[in-house]
Chains A and B, each alone.
Chain A
C-alpha cells in the first residue's frame, strides 16, 4: 500500500461523496421538509445521465450536451411534481412508497423502450480524458478531478441557494411552519414544485457526471438512491449541511473500506480468508456506520433546527 494509492483512493472517495451529496441534497429536502417519501429520485439521476449522453452524441460536444441536459432534468422534476406528486402529499407514506416505487419501474422501462437495454457509453473530450499529477508522480484521471470540482461547486451553490437567498429562506420558513408561511403570502404549492425541480436538477447533474465513469443504463439510479437514503439518515433528515458531511463520510468509508479492509484483514488472518471476508465486510461498512449513528444519534449528525 503506497501513499500514492491511498491518496488516489481518498480522491475517489471524495468524488463519490460529492456525487452522493448532489443526489441527497434534494432528497433530504423532499423527505424532511415536505414529509414526502420519494423513491424515484434515482430515476432523476438516470434521466440526467441519458439526457447528457444522448445530447452529447447528438451534438458531438460533451459540454454542450451537459448544458442542454440541465434544463431537461429541471423540467422533468417540475412536470413530475405537477402531474403526479402533488396529488400524493396528503396521502399516507405507504401510498407514497407504492406510487414512487411504481415510478422507478415506469422510468426504467421507459428508458429500456426508448434506448434499449444495453448501456450507453460516451467518449470524453480529449481535454478531459487525460491524467493530471495531484502530487509529483501521482497521476489522477482528469475527469474524476473535474467531477470533484463540479460537485463541490454545486455544493456551494446549494448552500448559497438555501442559506443566502430569499427563496431559500421561504423554503426554510415553509419547513418550519407551512401554514404561517402561507399566511404571509407565500405560495407553498409553487415552492414545493420549485424544490422538486431543483432537487431533480442536481440529481440529474450527478447522473451526467457519473455517466462517463460508470455505465449509463436502465436502473443505474437505484444503488445510488439506497446510498443517498443512508446519507440522509446519517446526516439528519431535512438537513442539507448534514447531507454534505454524511455524503463525504459515506463516500470515503465505502471507497476506503473496499481498499483497506482486505489489507487489514490479511495482517491477522490467512490470505484466502481475508480475500473472502474483505469485500463482503467492505460492502457492509456504510450500513454499519448508519447503524452506529442510529444507535448514538437517532436523529442523525445534524438534525435540522426548529
Chain B
C-alpha cells in the first residue's frame, strides 16, 4: 500500500528527515509517534507530495515515480486529514464534503454524502453552516468526512484529536476503530500512546528525522522505557 525507503526531506536549507523507512500493508493501521519537531508532519507532507523528496523513495500503491503532485496522489487514493484540520472556512459543510467526492477506483464506492453523514450525524444538523461556524470537534469530524469523500485507499490523520474535549476525542477514536474494522488502511499520528496502542497494529517512533523503533502494540506496551526515552516531554 505505502512503502517509504530511506526518505529524506526538509524545508529550504533545513533537512528534517534523514532516512525514514516504514511500510503500511493493505488494511493495516500504522502509527507514527515522536516528540514535536521530530519530523512527523514533514513525513506526512512528503508522502502527500507537498514537499519534494530529496532522497530515498516512496512507493504508493505500487507506483514509486518521484515528483508526483499532491492532487495526483489524492486521486490515486491518499486521503489526508491534516494537522490543524484546515477546513475551508468560506465553504458550507455540504460544500466542504461534496466538492471533493470521488468514486472509489476499485470495487464499490463506500463513501457518499449519505454514508459520511451517517458516520457523523452531528454534521447533518450543520449542513448549511459555514466551515468556520463549527466547534473544534465538528471541524475535526468534517475534516475526516472530507477525506473519506475521496474514497481513499489510505487514510492519513495528522493529530486528529489535538485540542479536543475528552468526550469528542473518544468519539474520534471510536470512529477510527470502526473504519479500521471496515478494512480501511490508516496512518495515524497522535500523542495519546494508550489510544494508539489499542488502535494501531504497528508503531513507528521518529526521533530527529529517523525511525528509531518499530514494533507491534505488545512490544510497545512491554517496553515502558520507550515512552520516557522517545515520547516523554
When the two chains form their complex, are residues B98 and A180 in contact, meaning their CB atoms are under 8 A apart? Answer: no
Residue of B nearest to A175 (CB): B90
Instruction: Render A293-306 as a binary contact track against B, CB cut-off 8 A, 1 for contact.
Output: 00000000000111
* B192 interface residue (CB < 8 Å to A): no
When the two chains form their complex, are residues A306 and B99 in contact, meaning their CB atoms are under 8 A apart? Answer: no
* A272 interface residue (CB < 8 Å to B): no
* A214 interface residue (CB < 8 Å to B): no
Instruction: Render B73-110 as a binary contact track against A, CB cut-off 8 A, 1 for contact.
Output: 01100001010001011110001001110100000000
When the two chains form their complex, are residues A173 and B70 in contact, meaning their CB atoms are under 8 A apart? Answer: no
On chain B, the number of residues with a Cβ less than 8 Å from chain A's Cβ atoms is: 24
In the complex where A166-B99, A169-B99, A305-B130 touch, is A183 in contact with B48 (Cβ < 8 A)?
Answer: yes
Residue among A170, A179, A184 making CB contact with B146, cutoff 8 Å: A184
A188 contacts across to B, CB distance below 8 A: 71
In the complex where A184-B80, A305-B130 touch, is A176 in contact with B48 (Cβ < 8 A)?
Answer: no
Bound: A169/B130 CA distance, A: 12
A177 contacts across to B, CB distance below 8 A: 86, 88
When the two chains form their complex, are residues A180 and B90 in contact, meaning their CB atoms are under 8 A apart? Answer: no
* A223 interface residue (CB < 8 Å to B): no
When the two chains form their complex, are residues B90 and A176 in contact, meaning their CB atoms are under 8 A apart? Answer: yes
When the two chains form their complex, are residues A182 and B74 in contact, meaning their CB atoms are under 8 A apart? Answer: yes
In the complex where A166-B98, A166-B99, A170-B99 touch, is A182 in contact with B89 (Cβ < 8 A)?
Answer: no
When the two chains form their complex, are residues A176 and B91 in contact, meaning their CB atoms are under 8 A apart? Answer: yes
A175 contacts across to B, CB distance below 8 A: 90
* B69 interface residue (CB < 8 Å to A): yes
Question: Interface SS of chain B: helix, strand, loop or mixed?
Answer: loop
When the two chains form their complex, are residues A169 and B95 in contact, meaning their CB atoms are under 8 A apart? Answer: yes
When the two chains form their complex, are residues B88 and A182 in contact, meaning their CB atoms are under 8 A apart? Answer: no
A residues 78-133 in Cβ contact with B at 8 Å: none
* A185 interface residue (CB < 8 Å to B): yes
When the two chains form their complex, are residues B80 and A183 in contact, meaning their CB atoms are under 8 A apart? Answer: yes
When the two chains form their complex, are residues A184 and B91 in contact, meaning their CB atoms are under 8 A apart? Answer: no
Q: How far, in Å, is B140 (CB) from chain A's closest CB? A: 14
Q: How far, in Å, is A180 (CB) from chain B's closest CB? A: 5
A residues 263-306 in Cβ contact with B at 8 Å: 304-306
Among A184, A186, A188, which residue has the most Cβ atoms of chain B within 10 A?
A184
On chain A, the number of residues with a Cβ less than 8 Å from chain B's Cβ atoms is: 21
Question: Count of A-B contacts with CB under 8 A?
Answer: 67
* B161 interface residue (CB < 8 Å to A): no
Bound: A182/B146 CA distance, A: 13
* A192 interface residue (CB < 8 Å to B): no
* B150 interface residue (CB < 8 Å to A): yes
Bound: A170/B147 CA distance, A: 15
Among A175, A183, A187, A304, which residue has the most Cβ atoms of chain B within 10 A?
A183
When the two chains form their complex, are residues B88 and A179 in contact, meaning their CB atoms are under 8 A apart? Answer: no
Among B99, B102, B146, which residue has the most Cβ atoms of chain A within 10 A?
B99
When the two chains form their complex, are residues B50 and A183 in contact, meaning their CB atoms are under 8 A apart? Answer: yes
* A172 interface residue (CB < 8 Å to B): yes
When the two chains form their complex, are residues A305 and B89 in contact, meaning their CB atoms are under 8 A apart? Answer: yes
Instruction: Render A149-193 as a binary contact track against B, CB cut-off 8 A, 1 for contact.
Output: 000000000000000001001101101110111111111100000
B88 contacts across to A, CB distance below 8 A: 172-173, 176-177, 180-181, 306
Q: How far, in Å, is B103 (CB) from chain A's closest CB? A: 12
When the two chains form their complex, are residues B74 and A183 in contact, meaning their CB atoms are under 8 A apart? Answer: yes
Residue of B nearest to A181 (CB): B88
A170 contacts across to B, CB distance below 8 A: 99
In the complex where A166-B98, A305-B130, A306-B132 touch, is A176 in contact with B89 (Cβ < 8 A)?
Answer: yes
Bound: A188/B75 CA distance, A: 13
B71 contacts across to A, CB distance below 8 A: 182-183, 185-188
- Please name 13 pairs of A and B residues whose Cβ atoms are closer than 8 Å in the assembled complex, sorted by A: A166-B98, A169-B98, A173-B99, A175-B90, A177-B86, A181-B88, A182-B71, A183-B74, A184-B99, A185-B75, A305-B130, A306-B89, A306-B90
**Given A179-B50, A184-B147, A185-B71, 19 further pairs, Cβ under 8 A:** A169-B95, A169-B98, A172-B88, A172-B95, A173-B91, A176-B89, A176-B91, A179-B70, A180-B88, A181-B88, A183-B50, A183-B74, A185-B150, A186-B71, A304-B90, A305-B89, A305-B132, A306-B89, A306-B132
A residues with CB within 8 A of B: 166, 169-170, 172-173, 175-177, 179-188, 304-306
B residues with CB within 8 A of A: 48, 50, 69-71, 74-75, 80, 82, 86, 88-91, 95, 98-100, 102, 130, 132, 146-147, 150
The 3 closest A-B pairs by CB, nearest first: A185-B74, A306-B90, A182-B70
